[in-house]
A and B are shown apart, each in its own frame.
Chain A
Amino acid sequence: MTSLVIAEHDNASIKGATLNTVTAAAAIGADVHVLVAGHNAGAAAAAAAQIAGVSKVIHADGASLEVGLAENVAAQVLAIAGNYTHILFPATANGKNVAPRVAAKLDVGQISDITKVDSPDTFERPIYAGNAIATVQSSDAVKVITVRTTGFDAAASTGGSAAVETAAAATDSGKSSFVGREVTKSDRPELTAAKIIVSGGRALGSSEKFDEVMIPLADKFGAAIGASRAAVDAGYAANDLQVGQTGKIVAPQLYVACGISGAIQHLAGMKDSKVIVAINKDPEAPIFSVADFGLEADLFVAVPELVAAL
């Protein structure tokens, strides 16, 4: 029994989601190997070899793997899949993009978004926006899994000394090509890795107000900024800031919800946060039912006051 973790990386470094996925793989109880499929990704492969609990790193390097096109990355995984009983991806945009391709080619079902490993073939995963937790058992020979990173602690990024083995890079599928990327530039911590998140809702009223109120609060906390679907749909915040069932799933130490009513789809994305603060002027807002500390107040008064008090 050996598990393969597909590393999330940017060729230069390993992303945090990989570390949580290694922990999930270790919980299965098998040897853990990590695949770094990229281009000029020697630094990422070397970093993967340092992760505690990893016994081998497979480094596949080629231009076809540079931007993580699903067709090519899936082919890379399939080229070595025969050696593994479990193949785990972080449930990031990349992992979710590639994993089902691998599962379908292997003719196995996929277990998405696991939050707990019960045994090598039995896992827990949330369904219906986290309103129920299903325990599921796979009868397939190979388990293809995506891992909800908030369900597992991060493995230590140092302390390991795995051997790095190189593998030939998959050839380009010729059917998909990369055109460009618009990456949101920000000095703030990444939403899914932040210790503190301040999140704004529709009550902010406009994108100007959203920035005017939320940025000073985020700066003061050193926090990442999130948003409710309503705020994103209204154009107050960028799409990739959406927290919820179909957006980012987060579990920071502190989540401050400002002017967010708390639809079940939003709660699904943040209710595992350690401490939740809700600031809302509607005393009936459902967000108060999950908040450790609720402040019934106008956010345009309370948030600047909070910034001043910190």
Chain B
Amino acid sequence: MKVLVAVKRVVDYNVKVRVKSDNSGVDIANVKMSMNPFDEIAVEEAVRLKEKGVVTEVIAVSCGVAQCQETLRTAMAIGADRGILVETAEELQPLAVAKLLKALVDKEQPGLVILGKQAIDDDCNQTGQMLAALGDMPQATFASKVEVADGKASVTREVDGGLETISISMPAVITTDLRLNEPRYVTLPNIMKAKKKQLDVFKPEDLGVDVAPRIKTLKVMEPAKRSAGIKVPDVATLVDKLKNVAKVI
């Protein structure tokens, strides 16, 4: 069984982005880019399934600019067997990415597609569910535990107020939550090995997908700033402030 893993190149989670002065977006020139952390968890999970012998091949896919090849090399250093880049300079929104992935699912016929539950740049939380719908596949989002056996995946999901376990027939889509696993550190030998792995490049046109954005960003603003508070010297003053100034208790 093959597994397809989708990885997105995003601004590194440690970078605090700045809004551009013309309010057209955030400034991502010269900032550190990394693999979306949830996608790293997705790659790790796919590689672990391969190590358990459940999966025969792990294919990493990224959609976006040419530099996404670096993100794919990272996925291959974690252990993905090969990479596919769908290269375009167009702004890609989740529906477009889901359509590109659907085209690749049709081509590769994986038993599972694993994605991060959300990207930390646009915070959309859509692509996995959209892909599942387009492919008429069942979905298990926000996974904290995955077990695969007999053509089914048993997935424990993080839901409001606790955990929920569902069983889905494969092919299926899984999106990862934070506690699914802890991705391994990539080692230098594995980085070197990853450079030699196969990486195919397609254009959206090759896959017959129209990626035109549906949602237009009119402007991007700084959020309202909280006015600076005060330091209180002791607990008694804190209680007094909460009672008599903030009046919240």
Contact = CB atoms under 8 A, between A and B. Distances in A.
Q: Verify that A and B bind, or say they do not.
A: yes
Given A126-B223, A128-B121, A306-B239, A138 B248 contact: no
Given A177-B167, A179-B166, A293 B242 contact: yes
Interface string A260-287: 0000110000010011110000000000
Contacts of B163: 181-182, 239-240
12 contacts: A70-B129, A127-B220, A128-B17, A128-B26, A134-B220, A183-B162, A196-B248, A248-B160, A277-B238, A288-B229, A292-B230, A294-B229
Contact of B161 (A102, A110, A240, A245): A240
Main secondary structure of the interface of A (DSSP, over half): mixed
Main secondary structure of the interface of B (DSSP, over half): mixed
Interface stretch (A36-44, A56-64, A90-98, A160-168): A90-98
Contacts of B172: 175
Given A135-B217, A271-B226, A181 B162 contact: yes
Given A71-B139, A101-B133, A109-B215, A131 B242 contact: no
A126 B123 contact: yes
A301 to B, nearest CB: 9
A246 B220 contact: no
A181 B121 CA distance: 31
A131 B31 CA distance: 15
Contacts of A140: 214-215
Interface residues of B, number: 80
Interface string A131-144: 11111111110000
Contacts of A291: 229
Contacts of B26: 127-128, 131-132
A83 interface: no
B19 interface: yes
Interface in B127-163: 127-134, 137-142, 144, 154, 157-163
- Of B93, B117, B126, B130, most buried by chain A (CB within 10 Å of CB) is B126
A138 B214 contact: yes
B162 A135 contact: no
B229 A128 contact: no
**Interface residue tally on A, bucketed by range:** 35 or more
Contacts of B232: 293-295
A132 B140 CA distance: 30
Nearest to A252: B248
Return the 3 tightest CB-CB contacts between A and B, nearest first.
Answer: A109-B214, A100-B129, A104-B130
Interface in B206-249: 213-223, 226, 228-232, 234-236, 238-239, 241-242, 246, 248-249
Given A240-B160, A254-B242, A309 B223 contact: no
B215 A239 contact: no
Given A131-B17, A138-B216, A292-B229, 19 more contacts: A100-B126, A101-B132, A102-B133, A104-B129, A109-B93, A110-B95, A112-B124, A126-B223, A132-B19, A132-B222, A135-B221, A176-B139, A176-B168, A176-B169, A179-B165, A181-B165, A233-B178, A240-B159, A240-B161
A135 B220 CA distance: 6
Given A132-B223, A176-B167, A293-B238, A137 B160 contact: no
A108 B95 contact: yes
B202 interface: no
- Of A112, A229, A293, A296, most buried by chain B (CB within 10 Å of CB) is A293
Interface in A76-125: 92-94, 96-105, 107-113, 122
Contacts of A245: 120, 123
A69 interface: yes
Contacts of B228: 289
A271 B222 CA distance: 14
A302 interface: yes
Contact of A136 (B13, B218, B231, B246): B218
B238 A306 contact: yes
B239 A181 contact: no
Contacts of A221: 249
B34 interface: no
